Structure 1
Amino acid sequence: MSKSTPLAYAGIVGATFFWGTNFNAGAYIIKSMAPISASIERFAISTLLLLLIFGLAGKLRLTTLKNNLAAFIGLGLLGFTAFNLATFFGLQTTTPINGALILATTPLWTMIFAVLLEGERIDRGRAIGLVLGLLGVGLVITRGDIQVLLGLKVATGDAIILAGSIAWAANMVGTRRFVKDSTPLETTKFSMLFGVIGLIVLGFIYESPMASISTASLSVHGAVFYLAVCGSLIAYLLWFKGIHAIGAARTSIFFNLAPVFTMLVSSILGVLPNVWQLLGAGGVILGVVFASGLVFGAGQSSAVKVRTGLADKAA
């Protein structure tokens, strides 16, 4: 295990924490702003900050953008535009429970893509971790009511959210597979740039972004700024760094920690978890432990280890 690996794991957990709190902040924002408009403001701020902070420092190479233009466009539309909009439009015709359970399958799709495109293998620890993680998320969301699971029906909204889950999985594997000679910072910045462009185009088609943004209160803008800095800029940097360090499939399992962090923040705000949510959180944590190789050891193939070393040098 390289010296950077523990830091990569810590960064991934930090990213999922920020994404977990996105639900808490987003619930407040959505009361006053249209969803796509809020997404536009959020990612526009993130993109601008990345450009000002790192672009002026000379850490964003135009040659990297030129050499990976097609990849960055695809990753931006998948990981930023499609994923966010699929969740929003999907929830218009399905329940939050259905949507959350379907999004919890993201690590499964990521693992499948990694096996097909990168030749990664599913070892015993990752298989156990995936099952425990999905069971844990199911308990957190359903509160132990098996009828919720049995009552799932394939609807238009379910299909849309599933498409968003697959898009996010493809984004994670594509970042490692198709982007060449790019740092995590550059991958985040350039992918986010094209994701914002996609959001702006769709925003003006389905909403009135300028009116929605201009009429929001300062507190709402403050919440959007938190999402932009912590839930977008910092979280995505940490996440892409994790993908480069330990691989897409292993990183993706940590995605299941997000609803656990959402539950913890809700508890701080006065909404205490029930016994099923606590058991589910335990399942998710155990799933992460198994999938990360802490129980059975690092289960990466030699090919994956070689790619990891190269990614660390590129970063």
Structure 2
Amino acid sequence: MQQRLTLRTALLLTLAPLLWAGNAVVGRMVHTLVPPITLNFIRWALAFVILLPLAGWVLKRHSGLWSHWRRFAMLGLLGVGLYNALQYMALQTSSPINVTLVGASLPMCMLVVGALFFGAQVSRQQVVGALLSLAGVLLVLGRGEWQQLLALRLVLGDVFMLLATVSWAFYSWSLAQPKDPAAIRADWAAFLLAQISFGLLWSGSMTAVEWSLGAAPIQWSWKLAAALVFVAVGPAVLAYRAWGVGIQRVGPNVAGVFINLTPLFATVLSTMFLGEWPQLYHLLAFALIVGGILVSARR
């Protein structure tokens, strides 16, 4: 049963976009050092090692994982194998502003997928909330000048990000379906490890294809090592934990609006690296995004 949006749940749903914004920035920083699908595979392999001491019991024969293997295989494909690989692929050929703009369509995509495939009812206020948050994202991406948005052109990377957004919408709605063994559902580490276990199979297969097509060799360095540790611990383990709890508490439609914080955080992080201070349009965009969240969550 879905709950009201509390401060604690809001903080969890805010933490995930913050970490994912860092993931986009770091992914762009190392895109010349490691192939994108390989980066995704290494990231989740490290996350698997981190979670194994906490929830290794889920891999045992009678844990309930193997009797529900189809569900976890699908979650692993959508949330581990596809979404992040497509995002890293998008960062290879598309500009960060295009990638975040396409990703900002997630709340609307969440509403459409929920209505068409999961029988969810979409209220007028949820649509209004999604549009308000999207307006805030557009304001940030255009740096307060709408002419910059009109000059954007889609490239192959934007198509990859669009596919990633659709994958994440299906993943989020699948999370909200109570079809998992109670023991696994109650243990966040076991629930995530169950997904990663199958996700590594998907990602590993994709990595094999990437290398068979002539992927560039990995350029190992301390910079790449630090990046791998960050994307494994933060955007993978911690962010997925926070997002999963938020989805279970308030549902995908409300949680989906929080994803619009990602490009806002990404813009702020980028400006920090460039030594720029937040501008007035950042504050206006933040007000629109938060306003959209409150409208969507209001009962």
Asked if these proteins are the same fold (TM beyond 0.5), I'd say: yes
CA RMSD across the alignment? 2.9
Q: Per the alignment, in what secondary structure is the counterpart of residue 65 of structure 2?
A: helix
Distance 1:268 1:157 in 2: 25
* TM-score, with structure 1 as normaliser: 0.81
Code of the aligned partner of 2:142? T
For 1:306, the equivalent position in structure 2 comes to none
Contact 1:141/1:277 (<8 A) preserved: no
State the 1:82 CA deviation.
Answer: 1.5
Structure 2 CA distance for partners of 1:255 and 1:41, relative to 1, 3 Å? same
Structure 2 CA distance for partners of 1:209 and 1:239, relative to 1, 3 Å? farther
2:284 is equivalent to residue 279 of structure 1: yes
Distance 2:64 2:254 in 1: 26
For 1:123, the equivalent position in structure 2 comes to 123
2:270 is equivalent to residue 266 of structure 1: yes
* Equivalent pairs, count: 291
State the 1:205 CA deviation.
Answer: 2.0
State the 1:239 CA deviation.
Answer: 0.6
Distance 1:96 1:17 in 2: 16
Unaligned runs of 5+ in 1: 299-315
State the 1:59 CA deviation.
Answer: 9.9
* TM-score, with structure 2 as normaliser: 0.84
2:137 is equivalent to residue 132 of structure 1: no
Structure 2 CA distance for partners of 1:155 and 1:170, relative to 1, 3 Å? same
Question: Comparing 152-161 with 259-268, which one deviates more in the overlay?
Answer: 152-161
Distance 2:4 2:251 in 1: 16
Structure 2 CA distance for partners of 1:59 and 1:41, relative to 1, 3 Å? closer
Structure 2 CA distance for partners of 1:91 and 1:211, relative to 1, 3 Å? closer
For 2:28, the equivalent position in structure 1 comes to 27
Distance 1:39 1:52 in 2: 21
Distance 1:92 1:16 in 2: 21
For 1:205, the equivalent position in structure 2 comes to 209
Contact 1:107/1:255 (<8 A) preserved: yes
Deviations 1:107-156 (A, max 9, x none): 11112222334443333432221011111111111223333443455654
Q: Per the alignment, in what secondary structure is the counterpart of residue 288 of structure 2?
A: helix
Structure 2 CA distance for partners of 1:200 and 1:120, relative to 1, 3 Å? same
Unaligned runs of 5+ in 2: none
Q: Per the alignment, in what secondary structure is the counterpart of residue 177 of structure 1?
A: coil
Identical amino acids, percent of aligned pairs:
25
State the 1:192 CA deviation.
Answer: 2.0
Distance 1:248 1:54 in 2: 26
Structure 2 CA distance for partners of 1:16 and 1:201, relative to 1, 3 Å? same
- What pairs with 1:104-253 in structure 2 (closer than 5 Å)? 104-152=104-152, 156-177=156-177, 179-181=179-181, 182-183=184-185, 184-207=188-211, 212=218, 215-253=219-257
